Amino acid sequence: MTSVACIGECMIELSATVGDNWKLGFAGDTFNAIWALRALLDPTATTDFVTAFGDDTFSEQQISFMREAGIGTASSPILPGARPGLYAITLTGAERSFTYWRSHSAARRLADNPDDLGKSLRNRSMIYFSGITLAVLDEQNRRTLLEAIATARLSGSRIAFDPNYRQRLWPDRFTARNAIGEALAVTDVALPTFPDERDLFDDNSQEATIERFAQVGIPEIIVKNGAEPCLLSHYGETTSIDAISVSAVDTTGAGDAFNGAYLAARLHGLDPAVSARRAHRVAARVVQTYGALAPFEALRTAFES
């Protein structure tokens, strides 16, 4: 039976709607991906979000929100006195900017207990995490996480990773490069975004990103590039897959939804090129929704169309 775990931080999201109205929800890069996975996988599949929660009202609402959507929390701890991070999305047209309040987020302690973390990752078909997952952890917890992922990989789990570089979360480029490099060493499916790789590693093209990742030994690489085509490499065979042009209202979460849809398609047994086309359709649907999460039915319709 398919079993997927996504690791990271789920935050309180304040997203703009119409006028001066704001909508409170829950989102975060790896959570947005598991939201798409839950929508698109067979109902019998297990999907868990691996994190750490506080014991406040908002954390309780988070857990309830996940459970109502069919997303479990595995052995994620509930930490007394902790609380979730918060971010607000400000829109200029469809482009977004973010303001964060996350320095004391409970998710920063998701790897405090190696035994609980290992239990959460045991016997998974797929494990997905991101550079943001790494960035919110201190050095010791980052190492604990990567060791747990490596152990799960040796036991047969496939590992998917999006470097998702956010400069403000890292003390410097050197630290970010080292941490992401260590993550790539345990990765089977890489899902980078070209502007991030250009900013962090000075790549001058999507092809350069493919080449650098292939040198690490990663067999499956999808380099996203916003509304431009993604570049797919599968065991050395490279294909460009066109994106889908739509009228966007909010681009928040589009890349995360792409990742979730791509991984869902691969778990369904579809080949990489077909999976990337379906992922583009799902991402195009997400940018027509305010906030990071589109309704399950909308994601399914886009995926299957």
> Environment class of residue 67 by beta-carbon count within 10 Å: exposed (0-12), middle (13-18) or buried (19+)?
exposed
CA 86/CA 46 separation, integer angstroms: 27
> Environment class of residue 132 by beta-carbon count within 10 Å: exposed (0-12), middle (13-18) or buried (19+)?
buried
Helical axes 296-304 vs 29-40, angle rounded to 10°: 70
The side-by-side arrangement of strands in the sheet containing 95-101 is 22-27, 11-16, 86-92, 95-101
Question: Known catalytic residue: 55?
Answer: no
> Catalytic residue among 162, 196, 203, 256, which?
256
Instruction: State the CB neighbour count (10 A cutoff) for residue 44.
Output: 7
CA 195/CA 176 separation, integer angstroms: 15
> Environment class of residue 92 by beta-carbon count within 10 Å: exposed (0-12), middle (13-18) or buried (19+)?
exposed
Residue 286, amino acid: V
- Please give the positions annotated as active site: 256
